[in-house]
Amino acid sequence: MAKRAKLRGLSLFANVGIAEAYLKEIGVDMLVANELLPERARFYQDVYPETHMVTGDITDDKLRTAIVNEAKKKKVNFIMATPPCQGMSRVGKMDKDDVRNQLIYYAVDVILRLKPEFVLIENVTTILTTKIKVDGKEMLIPEYLKGVLGEDYVFNSQSKVRAMDYSIPQMRLRNIYLLVRKDKNITWEFPARTPIVTLEDAIGNLPDVDPYLRDGYDVTLAHFPDFERKKAAAAAVSKWHRPPVHSWRLVEWMMHTPTNDSAIFNPVHYPRKTDGTRVSAHYNQYRRLAWNTPCRALTQNNGVISSLACVHPGRPYTVNGEVLYTNPRVLTIYEVMIVSSLPLDWPIPEWANENLIRKVIGEGIPSRLIKVIVEELLSKI
């Protein structure tokens, strides 16, 4: 007879299951999940066929009741809730009236109706200073959570955590509440930190990849004569270590941009509009990452050179006395998987396009961070 998992889980705001990637192997069965967007729900279901996916809007009372009923039927004792952060994120608009900020209310409703033994609630750290309206009263989200759930649950003493503190090659700072139902008499805190892993450690030995230029194949070969050789060497590592597609203008700017620097500081090859006007940009846009630190936090736009700090660190080389830098491109999907600590054999559906893959991984919490946090709980049960 198969051993029953210690944790039987429900995933709210499940995205495509980035957070769940290692849970099965450590003895956690995620039995029910809810995701609003059908395309993401389909992605999740392809990766986790044994999970019962409830697709739809959690603010809908009938759908939320369906989630609760299914979770009761499966005897769920663990809830993981990762509400959208775009309304609170510093890389978003930080709109205090963004309706997505209110979604935590519906997660709490599910928690109160199920009363699971353990709960994990994850979001950006600005959740600590974000207010929502509950019954016409405005209050800070932490005040709301502890006010409503504090009678039945013990919260962890420190809720801020960095992925880089657990040997994950991405800085990503998050706020994670760990809740234990009081009758369990267990303390659930973050585990002891482990050594930092830099980008050099994580991706420094991978084959170089030249970008495919949107300007055409002939133009690509004219600028990158070794394109096909590098592409083949990269494909031998993984089908996901493939050339990103960029316009030559942006690639040329990045070829002249040193490691850990932004093209906006280049004296000649700086970002400019088609009329030659200098582009006004944040100092972390058009920026190459650094080799000697973990990757900066990924965003959903990690496939766009002009986004925040998502360009490969590169290495210097000289042509006719001019110093240029290799890999003038964003990280490949394979490199994105590595810095997000996803299993490298994670079964990404074949039908998913590159934009979707990058977006869902960029929005997801690094998989191994959830693994080590949940393992800490399992060691106490």
**Using CA atoms, how far apart are residues 250 and 30, in angstroms rounded to an integer?**
43
CB pairs under 8 A, 24+ apart, for 214-220?
Answer: 214/245, 214/246, 214/247, 214/248, 215/247, 215/248, 219/248
Compute the residue count for the chain. 381
Would you call 85 a catalytic residue per the annotation? yes
pLDDT at 101: 73
Q: What is the pLDDT along the chain (381 residues), one digit of tens a residue?
A: 345 678 999 999 999 999 999 999 999 999 999 999 999 999 999 999 999 999 999 999 999 999 999 999 999 999 999 998 444 344 444 445 545 578 999 999 999 999 999 999 999 999 999 888 888 889 999 999 999 999 999 999 999 999 999 999 999 999 999 999 999 999 999 999 999 999 999 999 999 999 999 999 999 999 999 999 999 999 999 999 999 999 999 999 999 999 999 999 999 999 999 898 999 999 999 999 999 999 999 999 999 999 998 999 999 999 999 999 999 999 999 999 999 999 999 999 999 999 999 999 999 999 999 999 999 999 999
Contact 184, 172 (CB under 8 A): no
**Helix 103-114 and helix 61-73, axial crossing angle in degrees, nearest 10:** 40
Contact 74, 52 (CB under 8 A): yes
Q: Of residues 7, 10, 30, 85, which has the active-site annotation?
A: 85
- For the record, the structure tokens of 110 come out as 């599910």
Beta strands in the chain (DSSP E): 7-12, 28-35, 52-55, 78-81, 118-123, 131-134, 137-140, 153-155, 160-162, 173-181, 212-213, 245-246, 316-319, 322-325
* Exposure string for 168-202, b = 16+ CB within 10 A, e = fewer: bbbbbebbbbbbbbeeeeeebebeeeeebbbbeeb
**Helix 103-114 and helix 141-149, axial crossing angle in degrees, nearest 10:** 10
- For the record, the structure tokens of 291 come out as 């080799």
| Alpha-helical runs (H) found in the chain | 38-47, 61-73, 103-114, 141-149, 199-203, 217-223, 227-237, 248-255, 333-339, 354-363, 367-378
pLDDT at 135: 85
Tokens 């080389």 locate to 317
